[in-house]
A and B are shown apart, each in its own frame.
Chain A
Amino acid sequence: MPKSLLIISRQAPWSGPNAREALDIVLAGGAFDLPIGLLFMDDGVFQLAAKQDAKALQQKDLSANLQALPMFGVEDLFVCGDSAAERGLDLDGRSLEEARVLTAQEITALIDRYDQVITL
């Protein structure tokens, strides 16, 4: 059985290439049909903010890539509810509605379930 991998994405979408590069690991894993999960945590929750205007920053829109996750077979998507609350981010209108909102306790159990973890 293939080993499972959890990516914890902790960077805001417009703070550099980190968020995109974390997502690329997930998409590559999905393309290889590997059991892969993605957790948005800390500033990473901003990647799910609705109505982002990438053009205003002369950047490429990351949320379109996020929408591709289910198409790549990546269905284990999670977001830290506490991180969103601390930042005043309302997750009700989040751009990736497939992402399940987890408590800190649930995240501990989640990390425990995966064979390997990468935090970016």
Chain B
Amino acid sequence: MKFAIALFSAAHAPSSRRALLFAQAALAGGHEIVRLFFYQDGVYNASGSVVTPQDEQDLPKQWRAFVSEHQLDGVVCIAAALRRGVLNEEEAGRYQRDAVAVGVPWELSGLGQLHDAVQDADRLICFGGA
């Protein structure tokens, strides 16, 4: 089955951990993930600026490793990311900000990518919504 996964909660939220576990299980079960789309506070999961205490799970790091290893399409909503200060190099340059928080393997793009994934996937699975 082709899954699209949307994540709306911050990196420290239990639902973000569940999203990663689901994504790992989907691939392990032979399914396809057409796209990960991080929206609202979900954009923090792509941030390289998150520092997790040593005895806790570093979810942004785990997401990064997972997406890189499986060469997944990981999209972070650009509007949501700008609002929350999670910028990549290009946006930091555009808005003249010092802090760059997102890089490879993430791509900052628009909500059209969410709709595109919805059309492409058999199922959209959401985590961390209201």
Contact = CB atoms under 8 A, between A and B. Distances in A.
A120 to B, nearest CB: 5
Contacts of B126: 118-119
Nearest to B111: A28
Contacts of B79: 21, 24
Contacts of B83: 17
A10 B130 CA distance: 7
Interface of A: 2-3, 5, 10-11, 17-18, 21, 24-25, 28-29, 32, 34, 42, 116-120
For B6, B8, B123, B129, the residue with the greatest tally of chain A CB atoms inside 10 Å of its CB is B129
Contacts of A28: 110-112, 114-115
Nearest to A32: B115
A32 B112 contact: yes
A2 B83 CA distance: 31
B80 A21 contact: yes
Interface residues of B, number: 19
A116 B123 CA distance: 7
A119 B118 contact: no
Nearest to B128: A120
B50 interface: no
A3 B6 CA distance: 16
Nearest to A36: B115
A96 to B, nearest CB: 19
For B114, B118, B124, the residue with the greatest tally of chain A CB atoms inside 10 Å of its CB is B118
